[in-house]
Structures are given as C-alpha cells and as structure tokens.
Structure 1
Amino acid sequence: MGSRIRTAAGALAAAAALGLAAACGGGGGEEPAKSAAAASGDPANPVELTFWSWVPNIQKAVDAFNAKHPGIKVKLETITPGPDGGYAKMLAGVKAGNAPDVAQVGYDSLPSFLVNGALEDITQYAEKDAAKFVDWQWQTGVFGGKVYSIPQASGPMAFYYRKDLFDKWGIEAPKTWDDFAAAAKTIREKDDSAYISTFAANQAPWMIALAQQAGQQWFSTEGDAWKVTIDNPDTRRMAGFWQKMLDDKLVKTEADMSNGWYKDLQTGDIAGWIGGSWGDAIIRGNAPKTSGKWAVAPMPQWPGAAKFASASWGGGSASAVLKGTDHPAEATAFAVWLTSDPESVNILLSAGYGWPSIKDTSRIPNLQQDDTVFPFYGGQNIWDVFKEADAAVGLDWRWPPVSDALYSTLTDNAKAAVEGDGTLADAFAKTQTAMVEQLKAKGLNVVATGG
C-alpha cells in the first residue's frame, strides 16, 4: 500500500468541490461497473484481507463469509472505536502504507476520512449493489458521485416507554411533541418522583438527532465552500421546546447511560427514553425486572410536518475500503456480503450492531420472531417501529469533516445551558460559531451562515 495522503488544506478544498455535503448517486470511473458479488478469488490461492471492527462477536460473521468464499480469506482485528482509538490507527496506517483493507468507520467520520485521502474509490465494484440498501444509508458513503464505503447499520430513533405506568396514569404514547409535553406534565402530577424522560446534555449525537428530525440540515456546500446553518428556525424550535421542558421541570437533567439513569429505569422514575434501535439491549440489560412492561412507539412528530420524520443516533457505521488496498474488488465483495447476506445480518443483529442497512429485512429471522426481545416489550414486534423510523430518515443530512469537534463543542455548550448559563438556543448558536471557525482552521472556505 502506498503513502498517498494529501495535505489537509488541499484535501478539504477538494472535498468541498466534490460536494461532500450534497453527495448523490453512484457512478464515476471509466471501467464498466461490476457487481461486488462477482469478486470471489481463487480457492487455490486465496486473496487475504484484513478487516478492523469494534462490533462484539462479529467474528462469527467473518467466519461465515470465509466458509462461503474459499477464494477470499478475511482476518478480523478488533479495535477501539473513535478518533483516539481505531480511527487514528487507520489514518496512520494509510499514511504508512500498512492500513487494513476494510475498516469500520462511523457515518459521521467518513467525510474526515475522505478529506484525509484515506478512502478508496470503489464505484465500479459497488454501484450495482446500491439497490440493496436503504437510500439514506447508502448515500453516507457517496461523495461527488463516487462510492467509498458500504453501509453497515444505523440507529433509527423511537420512543421507549413504560406502558404499564402510562396505562396506570391514563396516558397514551405521544404522537406529537405537544402530546409529549402534555404527557410529561401529567406524569409529574400523578407521581412527583417520576419523569417522562431526561434531557441528555451529555449526548451530542442524541441532540443532533433531535435537530435532524426537526427539519433543516446543519451543513451543506455552495460551490467550493461550506455553509453552516446549525442556528436555523427548525433547530431553534426544537431547542425552545426542550428549554421549556427544562424550565417547567418536566424532564430530568441527569446523564443517560449513567448509574443514576439505570437506577431510574429500574424503579420507573424515568418512564421513557427517546433512543436508537440498539437501545433495546441497554434497557433489557439494565432493567431486567421490568420485563413485559415496556413498549416502543414512533418518535413524536412536529406540527405541520408533510410526512413522518425520524433521525438516526450518530448516523451509523460503514465498512470503508481504505486507500491503498491491493484488492479493492474482493474488499468490496466482503463489505457488501457482510451487511446484505441474511445469515450475516442476523448474526450482527444478535451482536447489537444496529439497524440493518438493507431494504429487504424479510429474511432476517431475528426481526420476525425474537423470543428474548419481544416478551420484554409485552409481545410487541418492536422492529416494525424501527423499520419505519429508518426509512423516514432524511436524505439531505450530511456530516462535516469536523464531527469530533462538533460533538465536544455541542456537549460543552448544552451542559452549560442546562446549568443555567444561557439557553439551549444559545448553545446551538455558539456551536455554529465554533464550527465556522473549525472549518476555516482546516483551510476551508465558509460562506455566509444562518438559518
């Protein structure tokens, strides 16, 4: 593998020119398009691939692939997720010429990988497989009309709630955000120790998902420049809603996935959670004695919405083919099989990797009947809710090549607002100002911003 990483400023400018935040469609390259499935290797002299991932028990899926593809041998190496773990090693490996062939990369980090010259153009091997995948998930790996990754899974949002308590309080699952606020008020009146939910200022991906569902996108490009519109009317409406919930003390302010939050799930002091599809396992694992008492409903909707809208917590994850691989066709074939073959998808679901990226989930056994999950939720097939939610994620949401800074800045600003230093609307406005500076610091042009 060669060392072909570009300078940061030049790469970022090139990425903006390609239309990072307005990517669409497949295509690119002069060679005829080939299906990834056609790459099978030679059993007598198998191609060797290295795959880096952090998904627990994903080795089972890798073993299944190797058994069915004797001409390709995939070796799994487990990594730590995030910018200071596996990502740093991947980027260093690309620069040194010894990166893995395929690596798990979050949808939110793909733009950063692209501008660092770390992704291989796999358009000719992958574009015929696009129809297998949910449109918005497929688009996360498409930049400037070229394909750089295969979607793995997402975290579509829904509302987990204690149905037994809602029934006792005479409340139905909220269909709108106004319903959500009314239910929150009723809960406080019925039980002064209970809350409908918590405002998780510790979770930037959660707050971003709330903004994504509210409407207007945060990042886009105009020509060769980025436009930042975090401080927009839809986000301000969402922030104002949650500010009033905080001011009226209708939600708790403790961090979710903290010890206190887990205890509140167990006791019913937290009666609901707007979470991703993978959150099912978190609730089951930390409040096992509440089995049979929970249900899942779609995310509440904003008034006047033309159609049902949802969002995905942190986007999701992709199998990215890294720059410099000697076997792009075989690497793409593995990436496509990993998240489209029913046997593999079923294995990964059991490992808690997220919602499948494929459109047709009818042949995934664990989505049709799950003797562990369904009884916990009173016999409900909760996956029907998440399938609808994933299909309702907007196509126009794009991540910037500064997602790490976005997460840390938004979390700091939101925590300050919750503690009384300004409002949540102020927190989003401050985050916009900071992101403009971050993009400029990386050598990018930024056009006039605002909602």
Structure 2
Amino acid sequence: MGSKISRVARAAAMAAAIGLAAACGGGGQPSAAPASGDPAKPVTLTFWSWVPDIQKAVDQFNASHPGVQVNLETITPGPDGGYAKMLAAVKAGNAPDVAQVGYDSLPSFLVNGALQDVTEYAQDDAAKFVGWQWQTGVFGGKVYAIPQASGPMGFYYRKDLFDKWGIAAPKTWDDFAAAAATIRKKDKNAYISTFAANQAPWLISLAQQAGQQWFSTEGDSWKVTIDNPDTRKMAAFWQKLLDDKVLKTEADLSNAWYKDLQTGGIVGWIGGSWGDAIIRGNAPETSGKWAVAPIPQWPDAPAFTSASWGGGSSSAILKGTKNPAAATEFAVWLNSDPQSVNTLLSAGYGWPSAKDTSKVTNLQKDDTVFPFYGGQNIWDVFQQSDAAVALDWRWPPVSDALYATLTDNAKAAVQGQGTLTDAFAKTQQAMVDQLKAKGLSVVTGG
C-alpha cells in the first residue's frame, strides 16, 4: 500500500509541476558539448514515428552525420496504440531513444516518468523554434522534447463546386452555416462537411479557436473550465447545424469519408495543415479542384484567431536512452534543418516548428502540393493560421482520458442523447474527477 501511495504522490507532484511551470523558459544548467560520434564506431539511435516518408529525412541525417546513425521504426499513431507501446517500452527498459509524441500527450508522458531531461543539450536551441511550440516540451524550466510540427487549422473546400453553386469561401461561422444550407439545396447528395464526433482533437481545436482555455492553474490547483461561455457558444452553433441536418455525421478519416471526398459527397473539411496530404492521398482524381481558406471567424473575435489540431507533435527523448546528447542532436536537426523540413513538409507532417523557414523552398514552390489545389500556395493560409494560435492553451496530464470521454459524450449527443453543450459539461465533470483521482487539487469555473 505504501508503494502505491508514493507512486500516486509522485505523479501528483509531477502533474502539479506541469501546471505551475509549463510556461517557464530554459533552465540554468551549463551547456554541454554537442554529441560527437566516431564514424568508425557510430552511436546508434532508434526513432519511432508515424509520419509518412520520414525515412527520407532520417537518411539525410545519417548521410550528413556519420558518427550518429538512426534506425527508424514506423509505428501506429500515438492515440491508436503507439503511446501505449512507448510507455510499455520505457517500463521494460527497451524504449527508443527518440519518439514522436503529441504536444497534448507530453504532460501525461512526464507524469508517467517516460521523458528524459535534456536541458543541458538543448537549451541553446530554443531560438531555432517557434516560441509556443518550443514551450510544449518545457516543464519546470527543463527541456524534455523538441517541437516537430503543429497542425494549424484551415478550411479545405471543393472550389469547383463552390464556384458552380455561387458560394464564396466562408469568412465567418455564419457564412459557413449559410453555405451549408445552400449546398443541401443545390445537391441533395452533398454536404459541406461532416461533424467528426470521433475526433476529440478536432472538437478541442474548435473550442480553442472559440476563445477561453480549458485548463489552467490557480495557486496550487488545476482549474478546469471546459464548460465555459465560449465553448457553449461553439457547441450551440454546431448543434444547430446538426438539428438542421446540413452536416453529415460519419467519422472522418474513415473509408466512408474518403469515398465522400472522392465523389463530392463531402465538399469541405475544417482540418489541420497536415490534412493536405490526407486529401491528396485519398482523392487523387479530384486534383486541381480543391482550395484552402482560413478557418471561419467568430464575429466577436478581437483579431484573427485559429487553433492547432491536437497541438502538434514533438520528437521526445525517452527515459532510458543511453545517448541523450546524440538523441537531442538528431531531434534538433530533424526539426530545424531546412533540408529535413523541406522533405517533411511535402510528406504531410504539419506546419514546421522551425522559426526560420526562409530556406524551406517548398513553402514557396511545391510541385507536389500546389497543383492539387489549383496552383494555390496553401502554405500562406497555414502560416497565418499558425501565427494566430492561442499561446495560453494548456494540456492536462490526463489527455488520454480527455479524448476518450469527450469522444463518447460527443457521439452520444450526435445520436440524440442530450446536446453538444451537455457533452462538454459532462466532460468537464469527468476531468475534474480524473485530476482528483491523481491526488491533485482542482477548482472549476466557466
């Protein structure tokens, strides 16, 4: 019993540190020399990731770093089983040196003792990365992960059909609702979008863009404010669209959804920047017919506001690595070297975390991406979107429970068991209970 209590207390203390110090800068530890391996006997690292074609970037690193060689192992996306495999590997003592971990899941990994403190190797690299993305891997002034990419939101739409129907890309959410109704009148088989109740990160991004944050700290307590006026406003908006039957309710990223993309059954999608590759890869015969517009805005927003789907992903250095310096060197290079970023951008990994993208040529001319979108430089849209992501959004050390609970509640609402507003209120109470179960002090608000 005593061992169990100590584990809970340790987890609670770590979670409290996340909440109280997540926004702190790098620590004051002395900088260490960069990793240097002997080409005759190179340091060998293992890297787990699910990004398509990331092997190309790994090969580029290996060719330019003979003293450090990286072996890539492809895994399923984190929420679909990859994270469980990582945590089990850490516990068993055979974890990879570097692994792709979402920004939203880093607090949970820290609480589970799965992250390696690499401050002494990474603290001088902060200037290479977008500030808010860098901070996602910093807890209590210590660096545990290198940011990889975010998923700033935009509106993908079939421009050929919108033009045919005389509909402009929606600038506001009211425009979006009007367009949704018009599309149903123009084509009984077409919908502007699906309501993806299966995607908690998508639902959260809509709430983030609406305004008030869900998690913060107040003194030594976590403050949970999921059931707040801005989220209720967003929920009521989508509930009306559901009630008016102008949305489809199939799961996105499903076979049925892919078919609808191909046939024009779905003519739009509020999605992250990495969604470009999803549409290109699954609806290739629609090339040249799509475009991307900024995410619609709320009329009371003081300035252009966006959000990032699930925050984004990091290259986290996992506990137990025998080569933290080399692992950090690889993670920094992978996510900041222009050649690597250029390769990953076209692979659909998201919006770069690197601050300086002037040498990332695919942002200006991409013969793979731009033709599919009628010649549009879609990265201009996502650059604006990434710059408009709220800087104060915080992820709790219970993101797995948050995702599961929100998805269940949203699916129930879509099936007529209560409303979306109810779904978010129920999720708030469940998260309060989850945090308290970790021994944390919790306050609520709205």
Structure-to-structure mapping, 1:99-110, within 5 angstroms: 99-110=95-106
SS where residue 52 of structure 1 aligns?
Answer: strand
CA drift at 1:378? 1.0
Closer/same/farther in 2, CA of residues 166 and 86 from structure 1, 3 Å limit = closer
C-alpha deviation, 1:243, in angstroms: 0.7
Ranges in structure 2 where 5+ consecutive residues have no aligned partner: none
Distance 1:266 1:71, change over 3 A: closer
**Could you tell me how far 1:94 is from its partner in structure 2?**
2.7
Displacement after TM superposition at 1:84 (Å): 6.6
- Structure 2 distance, partners of 1:433, 1:235, is 15
Deviates more, 1:74-83 or 1:323-332: 74-83
Distance 1:321 1:267 in 2: 43
Please name the residue that 1:362 is paired with: 358
TM-score (norm 2): 0.94
Match for residue 30 of structure 2?
Answer: 32
For residue 9 of structure 2, what is the amino acid of its counterpart?
A: G
Letter in 1 for 2:296: P
Shift in Å, 1:443: 2.4
Quick one: percent identity of the two aligned structures? 81
Name the residue aligned to 2:13: 14
Counterpart residue identity of residue 85, structure 2: K
How far has the Cα of 1:349 moved from its partner?
2.3
Q: CA shift at 1:390, angstroms?
A: 1.4
Question: Which of 254, 261, 279 is matched with 1:283 structurally?
Answer: 279
The equivalences for 1:67-216 within 5 A come to 67-82=63-78, 85-216=81-212
Number of corresponding residues: 443
How far apart are 1:76 and its partner, in Å?
2.3
Q: CA deviation at 1:6?
A: 11
Correspondences of 1:25-424 after superposition (within 5 Å): 25-29=24-28, 31-34=29-32, 38-82=34-78, 85-424=81-420
C-alpha separation in 2, matches of 1:17 and 1:186? 49
How far apart, in 2, do the equivalents of 1:161 and 1:57 lie? 26
Contact persistence 2:317–2:324 (CA under 8 A)? yes
Q: Which residue of 2 aligns with 1:450?
A: 445
Distance 1:325 1:168 in 2: 57
Paired residue for 1:23?
22
- State which drifts further: 11-20 or 98-107: 11-20
Cα distance, 1:348–1:300 mapped onto 2, change above 3 Å: same
3-state SS of the aligned residue for 2:99? strand
Match of 2:403, as an amino acid?
Y
- Listed as ranges, the gaps of 5+ residues in structure 1 are none
Letter in 1 for 2:321: T
Paired residue secondary structure (1:339): helix
Query: 1: CA distance between counterparts of 2:6 and 2:312?
Result: 27
Q: Is the 8 A contact 1:295 1:380 kept in 2?
A: yes
- TM-score, normalising length from structure 1? 0.93
Residues in 1 aligned to 2:328 and 2:266: alpha-carbon distance in whole angstroms: 44
User: Is the CA contact 1:26–1:123 (under 8 Å) kept in the aligned structure 2?
Assistant: no
Contact persistence 1:12–1:444 (CA under 8 A): no
Aligned amino acid, residue 319 of structure 2: K
Contact 1:200–1:254 at 8 Å: present in 2 too?
Answer: yes
Aligned counterpart in structure 2 of residue 431 of structure 1, from 421, 427, 431: 427
Looking at structure 1, the residues matched to 348 and 373 of structure 2 have their Cα atoms a distance apart, in angstroms, of: 17
Residues 269/49 of structure 1: CA separation in 2 closer, same or farther (3 Å cut): closer
Distance across 1 between alignment mates of 2:381 and 2:368: 17
Which deviations, in whole Å up to 9, do the C-alpha atoms of 1:162-207 show, x marking residues without a partner?
Answer: 1112112222111111111122222223333322111111111111
